[in-house]
Amino acid sequence: MPEPAQEREPQRPVDGRARLATAMRHPTARGQLVAGALLAVLGFAAVTQVRSNERDDSFVGARQGDLIQYINNASLASRRAEAEISQLQETREALGNDTEARRTALTLARRQADVLGILAGTVPAVGPGIRATVTGGGTGVGSDQLLNGLQELRDAGAEVIEINGSVRVVAQTSLQDTANGGVLVDGTTLEPPYVIEAIGDPSDLSVALDFTGGFISDVQSVGGKVTVDELDKVEITSVRKPRPPEYAEPVSSR
């Protein structure tokens, strides 16, 4: 009688690890190496794209006015950086010549003194800029709205700011509402209408005041009105007296 056929054991499915081990025990063909490299590059590109999309999601849902403000601020910062790079390159070339080094150093010192005087408000200034006139609103327009406008002008690159032709705005400027509807600015009482003059790029300064939720919108929300004029020449004559140092004293050179 013929012997009964032996039952064959069912083959186990080959999983991914087994295939990988089998592939590693056999010599790798050049085509496999190329395919592996291409897959690695594709995977890296996919991960990079995913991370880029995650970063871009931070702007999803932002208002159009906010996006325009972001773009304007980035463009302004880029222009400032380019101007500073150009100026530093010119200074480096001038200092490279020994005969011009002393003259260049003196010129830079005088220029720096002028810049510090403008920032500190101790010298008059002139240049292109804007004039923002705030009218109406009764007692609604006050220190909150003006402070908002000053901050937006500073963020947009305003180098010199003056209110009502009498008060120079500096880093230490303080604003406080008064009982009769005016605003006390650094000890000086100002009454409406308020006229803010600022020196800087006229286009950047005017755009900084006019966006959703900004200075103009804030004033309009309390019944006021803002008129912005871009000017080729703004003269600011109000100055501040320099405060003598209370604790510091210069070091004598020997």
**Average pLDDT in the 139-143 region?**
85
Q: Which amino acid is at 122?
A: T
Flag whether 93 is in a domain: yes
Number of domains in the chain: 2
Flag whether 73 is in a domain: yes
Query: Tens digit of pLDDT for each residue in 44-100?
Result: 666 565 555 555 555 566 677 777 777 777 777 888 888 888 877 777 776 666 666
Q: Do residue 145 and residue 111 come from a single domain?
A: no
pLDDT for the residue numbered 197: 97
pLDDT for the residue numbered 196: 97
- Residue 147, burial from CB neighbour count under 10 angstroms (0-12, 13-18, 19+): middle
Query: Tens digit of pLDDT for each residue in 156-208?
Result: 999 999 999 999 999 889 999 998 889 999 999 999 999 999 999 999 999 99
pLDDT for the residue numbered 105: 73
Domain of residue 76, residue span: 64-120
Q: Do residue 111 and residue 87 come from a single domain?
A: yes
Give the rounded percent of residues in the chain with a pLDDT score beyond 90.
Answer: 39
pLDDT for the residue numbered 230: 96
Per the confidence metrics, is the pTM higher than 0.85? no
pLDDT for the residue numbered 8: 53
Highest mean pLDDT among 12-26, 40-54, 111-125: 111-125
Give the rounded percent of residues in the chain with a pLDDT score beyond 70.
Answer: 70
Cβ atoms of residues 108 and 236 within 8 Å: no
β-pair partners for 136: 224
Q: Do residue 83 and residue 161 come from a single domain?
A: no
Kindly report the number of other CB atoms within 10 A of residue 219's CB atom: 25
Report the b/e string of 191-204 with b at 16+ CB within 10 A: ebebbbbbbbbbeb
- Return the CATH number at 137: 3.30.70.1880
Flag whether 160 is in a domain: yes
Flag whether 38 is in a domain: no
pLDDT for the residue numbered 154: 92
Count of helix runs (H) and strand runs (E) in the chain: 7, 8
Flag whether 135 is in a domain: yes
